[in-house]
Amino acid sequence: MRLEQRFLILRKAIYGQMRKAFFILALVLVSLLTSCTSVFTGLYGMKKPKQLKVEQIKKEAQHQGIPLQQLYRIDTSYWSYLAKVDTAKHQEVKNHSQPLQAMYFDANGQLFRFYVNCYAGGFPNLKWNRFGGLNQFPPLPQAPEDSLLPFNQLAAFAKPLEEAQDFVQSDTTIVVFWNRMMGRQSKRFIKLINRNAQLSNTPIQLLFVNTDDLFLDLMAE
């Protein structure tokens, strides 16, 4: 076998293992940084990943207070994109692999505030506003901002449901990753981000991306 062929096979195998590792990272980091082990997942209100049809996503979105016009679904190729990122950026990849995220983008599509579940802490609920960071707009920094996923790159993975508008940026856009899997933690997170957006003196565009397929896809492999 030629050296080039061996390299391609090895690279494919590594990418496959990395994709599986993302799901483990997401749950392990929730466990380590929120004291949430498998014993306590029920106390946190977390649920086993489940395949959701479009109508189920809509129903769950309405339950969590998300307007259908702002509802999107993540494409699982998102994992492939993260798997190809330079390993030197493992911290950024870890942050963008989490179940709950709020990404604040400016008019140029650059991330300027980033809220991620593994920085929240708290029990039995994640304490997103532990230090009052969400009491102002823009909020105080939580997770480190990075340039790994600008808005135009993220837009390639966000698929609108029937009623949703095109996934386009505004002067200030907040993209929220949410899911059924995180149960009440997701609902509480959405409520806090909505409340924070209302503190702005200028219009804010909110886009909600359901990510249940990501974690189901990794568990199936």
The DSSP 8-state label assigned to residue 40 in this structure reads T
Within 13 A of 138's CA, how many CA atoms are on the CB side? 17
Condensed to tens digits (0 to 9), the pLDDT of residues 124-147 reads 899 999 999 999 999 999 999 999
Q: Which residue has the tokens 């802490």?
A: 121
* pLDDT score of 4 more than 50: no
Residue 61, burial from CB neighbour count under 10 angstroms (0-12, 13-18, 19+)? buried
pLDDT in tens, 48-68: 888 899 999 999 999 999 999
Among 9-18, 54-63, 147-156, the range scoring the smallest mean pLDDT is: 9-18
**Cis status of the peptide bond prior to 124, with omega within 30 of 0:** yes
Rounded mean pLDDT of 135-161? 96
Q: How far apart are CA 120 and CA 206, in angstroms?
A: 21
Confidence at 38, pLDDT banded by 50, 70, 90: very low
More confident: 38 or 100: 100
**pTM, to two decimals:** 0.82
Q: Where are the domains of the chain?
A: 3-220
Indicate if the pLDDT at residue 155 is higher than 70: yes
Task: Provide the sign of the torsion angle of the four alpha carbons 163, 169, 75, 73, taken in this order.
Answer: negative
Checking if the pLDDT of 154 tops 90, the result is: yes
Predicted pLDDT of residue 43: 67
Q: Region 83-100: what's the mean pLDDT?
A: 94
Could you tell me the pLDDT band of residue 221, with boundaries at 50, 70 and 90? low
Residue 163 has pLDDT above 90, yes or no: no
Mean residue pLDDT of the chain comes to 84
The mean pLDDT of 183-212, rounded to a whole number, is 97
